[in-house]
Amino acid sequence: MRKSLAIIGFFSSLFLVPDRLQGLDILLRMSSGPSWMKLAEVNSALTGWKEGLIREAEVNPNAQFIGGELGHLRLGVDFEAELILSLSRWIRLGLSAGYTHRSLDEEATLQTVEQSGTLYHWSRPTKVNAYPLLISGYLNLPLGKKFSAYLRAGAGAIQARLISREGQKKATSSRFSYSIADNAKASRPLYLAGLGFGYSFDQSLGFFLEAAARFARLKGLTGEDGLGQKGTLYSYEEFLPASGLWRPSMRVLPEEPGGINLRNVHEAVVDFGGYSIKIGLLLKF
């Protein structure tokens, strides 16, 4: 992680010292588009939470699971701004900062259970966001006076945060009461590879379309729970004796959990790996 930041700092200095940029073109890229993220363990915990509600209602003679849709944290939105130094017609070097976000609110995770004639709503709003910082190299391939293609390879760091809460309320109530609230973050290396196509309107303005694959697995996230107790984000399967279900779970805990009712305990992995498609503008100074 420190090496990644050192490399970013070194290349950033190239853009901050005017004498080094004389005779070179400087470009600004701004882009946005959909991003697909893996987030396998996060989605598994969401699915396990709903399955736990269903199975507990099945074994309780006074309860009935009514239903509810549950989304998954896969499709998000990427934003990126990048300064590019054109070293030649073929080679470019870029420094970029971005933002990616995906969330499920109370409505997207709403589940309804009837218990002893009373309707209860359960919800598990969850969101992830990340701030990538990248150094990228470009191999530019001119396809004519206005069209071009390029290959991109980048490395840097990503800082990400996961926020997850679990709440319950009567159907007649207006607000949820949250018994669980976890907030954890971490920074880890990030790698990217992409392919893009560009079109120049004139010498100072153009647009581009880029598809890229991202590799970023975050482990060792730390933060605090709803009571302010600090800890590490753990992923595990929890046995529910009444229903016989091994339920995937994810919680911020002060120490690694253990016991006969837990298995596959490990530091949670929040996998931002995936791919994105972005469209943007290219400005030349």
Q: What are 172-225's pLDDT values in tens digits?
A: 998 999 989 999 999 999 999 999 999 999 888 999 999 999 999 999 999 999
Residues recorded for the chain: 285
Who contacts 198 (Cβ-Cβ below 8 Å, separation ≥6)?
A: 147, 148, 149, 150, 206, 207, 208, 209, 282
Q: What is the mean pLDDT of residues 229-257?
A: 95
Q: How far apart (Å, rounded) are the C-alpha atoms in residues 38 and 91?
A: 32
| pLDDT in the model for residue 36 | 93
Q: What is the pLDDT of residue 203?
A: 82
Per-residue pLDDT at 188: 94
- Name the pLDDT band for 264 (thresholds 50, 70, 90): very high
Confidence grade of residue 6 (pLDDT, cut at 50, 70, 90): low
| Alpha-carbon gap, residue 53 to 67, rounded angstroms | 10
Percent of the chain at pLDDT exceeding 90: 78
d(CA 69, CA 25): 51
How far apart CA 61 and CA 42 sit, in angstroms, is 31
Q: In this predicted structure, what is the pLDDT of residue 23?
A: 54
The per-residue pLDDT for 253 is 96
**Residue 27 contacts residue 84 (beta carbons within 8 Å):** yes
Q: What is the pLDDT of residue 65?
A: 93
Read off the pLDDT band of 74 (50, 70, 90): confident
CA distances from 229 to 123, 181, 284 (A): 22, 11, 50
Residue 18 confidence (pLDDT) above 70: no
Estimate to the nearest angstrom the gap between the alpha carbon of 149 and the chain centroid: 28
Q: Over the stretch 103-158, which tens digit does the pLDDT of each residue have?
A: 999 999 999 999 998 999 999 999 999 999 999 999 999 898 889 999 999 999 99
Mean pLDDT of 11-24: 52
Q: Kindly tell me if the per-residue pLDDT of 281 is higher than 60.
A: yes
